[in-house]
């Protein structure tokens, strides 16, 4: 019963997003506006909720994560919170690079070299994507990057 109620909530949330999205421009002469992605996302959420509501389901026991799983989820949430708090002060690169290293170590338990390389590639790749390809700005730190 709770699963069906949750599916109805997803349908309502999706419809609400679709209803609010036209307040932003959906399409402009230059291309997609700021309301297009929320509208598509709202449609996806509502359709998925509807599909889940209509499928026949048998009650199944909930398979909760282990203590280690909960710790990994808490680590990821803490890393995201740290990025949110530190990025305006330290900038994108000085914030994201070390936190991604720590997250890779905490969640995936990879070697330090692997974590360093993965973090460097991911940080530089995202920085390049946003600053060069999308011509967007990311917060700059005290060192100018």
Domain match, 71 and 124 both: yes
| Structural domain includes residue 43 | yes
Task: Note the pLDDT of residue 59.
Answer: 66
Comparing 98 with 143, the larger pLDDT belongs to: 98
Residue 62 forms part of a structural domain: no
The strand pairing partners of 3, in sequence order, are: none
Q: Are residues 45 and 74 in the same domain?
A: no
d(CA 95, CA 116) in angstroms, rounded, equals: 14
Q: Give residue 2's pLDDT.
A: 74
Regarding whether 45 and 74 lie in a shared domain, the answer is: no
Residues 86, 31 within the same domain: no
CA neighbor of 4 nearest in space, from 41, 57, 40:
57
Residues 44 and 81 in one domain: no
How many domains, the chain? Answer: 2
User: Which tens digit of pLDDT belongs to each residue from 104-123?
Assistant: 998 888 889 999 999 999 99
Asked if residues 26 and 65 have their Cβ atoms less than 8 Å apart, the reply is no
Give the per-residue pLDDT at 119.
96
pLDDT tens for each residue of 25-48: 888 888 888 888 999 999 999 999
Q: Is residue 139 part of a domain?
A: no
Kind plus residue range of the DSSP H or E element containing 131: none
């Amino acid at each position: 019963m709770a699963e069906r109620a949750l599916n109805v909530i997803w349908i309502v949330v999706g419809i609400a997003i679709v209803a609010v999205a036209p307040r932003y421009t959906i399409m402009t002469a230059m291309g997609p506006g700021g309301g297009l992605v929320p509208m598509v996302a709202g449609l996806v959420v509502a359709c998925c909720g509807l599909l889940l509501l209509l499928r026949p389901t048998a009650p199944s026991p909930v398979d909760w994560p282990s203590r280690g799983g909960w710790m990994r989820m808490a680590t990821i949430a803490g890393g995201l919170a740290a990025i949110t708090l530190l990025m305006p002060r330290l900038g994108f690169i000085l914030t994201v690079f070390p936190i991604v290293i720590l997250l890779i170590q905490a969640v995936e338990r990879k070697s330090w070299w692997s974590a360093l390389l993965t973090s460097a590639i991911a940080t530089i790749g995202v920085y390049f994507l946003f600053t060069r390809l999308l011509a967007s700005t990311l917060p700059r730190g005290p060192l100018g990057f």
